[in-house]
Structure 1
Amino acid sequence: MGRVAAIYRSVKKGERIRLDQPALFISGFGLEGDSHGGRDQRQVCLFGLNSNEQLQKLGGAGLCTGRFNENITTDGIDLFQLPLGTRVKIGETIQEITQIGKKCFGCEIGDENGSCVLAHEVVFTAVIEGGFIKEEDTIAVVE
């Protein structure tokens, strides 16, 4: 079981706002008011604290991180190790993992190491059952 470390709304490409209050996630859409909402099966983007720290240690701060915005920062659970189709309960919502990994932006990290954590550890979900999510909510696999 993991937890929600932070929630972000993308206002426009490359610009996000950290949400301090519970955020509404809408079935079939994603985060209410998010500029990436409603996109096919990539409605919500999740990225782990450990993965983010790895990226920064590799020198990714300001490169990929300046162009990539997750909706939910997770802690204590490696969602990227779960198979596609796995359902997770996050706060009041049920979400299904629809994609693992994201196309690399082609920065210096990817060139030096072949690929970066974005290519393998970003997780996209579709919102199956909507509801509110707030920081510190638990993240658990639905059996």
Structure 2
Amino acid sequence: MKVKSLFIKREKDGNIERIEEGFFKREKGLVGDINGIGGDRQVSIATDKVRKYIEEGKSKGICVKRFYENITIEGLNIEELSIGQKVIIGETIQEITHMGKRCFPECNLFISNNPCPLFKEVLFTRVLKDGIVKVGDKVGIMNYNNTDDGVR
């Protein structure tokens, strides 16, 4: 697994920018991002499947216009992960706090019982160890005994 892309939104009504690297601060998130303010959803992570879905722009769902992830991970299989697991991304260690993104009740896809990939292919983390994350960085999953079991 590796970091495929990074995104930041600096202002509430601002544009979403693609960046090559970012500093992720412990217990805050991506420095300079509007969501980098702490809490249990400090960093949003999506699979490359979600990124492709968003970039194609064919969906009529609300999230495609509203959602952006801070980190896109190529080769990420969310079904193999669980809340509380720790991931090594670049220089950082992050803990998974939420899996999946809630649908908006007013979304046409939700109303038609046809949720988009964001429902299952997104997760949120909090930063345990700060550091720089760059496009191309490897991503590893830590065992529960806090040892790195390598990149999968």
Distance 2:19 2:60 in 1: 21
One-letter amino acid matched to 1:133: V
Question: Considering only CA atoms, is the larger Rg found in Structure 1 or Structure 2?
Answer: 2
SS in 2 for 1:12: coil
One-letter amino acid matched to 2:59: G
SS in 2 for 1:53: helix
Alignment RMSD: 2.2
Residue 135 in 1 paired to residue 135 in 2?
Answer: yes
Q: Is this contact kept in 2: 1:59–1:109, CA < 8 A?
A: no
Distance 1:35 1:95 in 2: 19
Deviation, 1:79, is 3.2
Distance 1:17 1:139 in 2: 22
TM alignment of 1:1-143, pairs within 5 A: 2-13=1-12, 15-20=15-20, 22-54=21-53, 59-60=58-59, 63-79=62-78, 81-105=80-104, 106-143=106-143
One-letter amino acid matched to 2:109: I
Normalised by the size of structure 2, how large is the TM-score? 0.82
Structure 1 unpaired stretches of 5+:
none
Deviation, 1:118, is 1.6
Distance 1:57 1:33 in 2: 27
Deviation, 1:57, is 6.9
Distance 2:131 2:78 in 1: 20
Q: Is this contact kept in 2: 1:25–1:133, CA < 8 A?
A: yes
Q: Is this contact kept in 2: 1:102–1:119, CA < 8 A?
A: yes
Return closer, same or farther for 1:25/1:98 CA change in 2, 3 Å cut-off. same
One-letter amino acid matched to 2:115: S
One-letter amino acid matched to 2:125: T
Deviation, 1:62, is 7.4
SS in 1 for 2:58: coil
Return closer, same or farther for 1:80/1:31 CA change in 2, 3 Å cut-off. farther
Identity %: 35
Structure 2 unpaired stretches of 5+:
144-152
Q: Which residue of 1 aligns with 2:150?
A: none
- Greater displacement, 73-82 / 106-115: 106-115
Distance 1:32 1:108 in 2: 34
Distance 2:51 2:30 in 1: 21
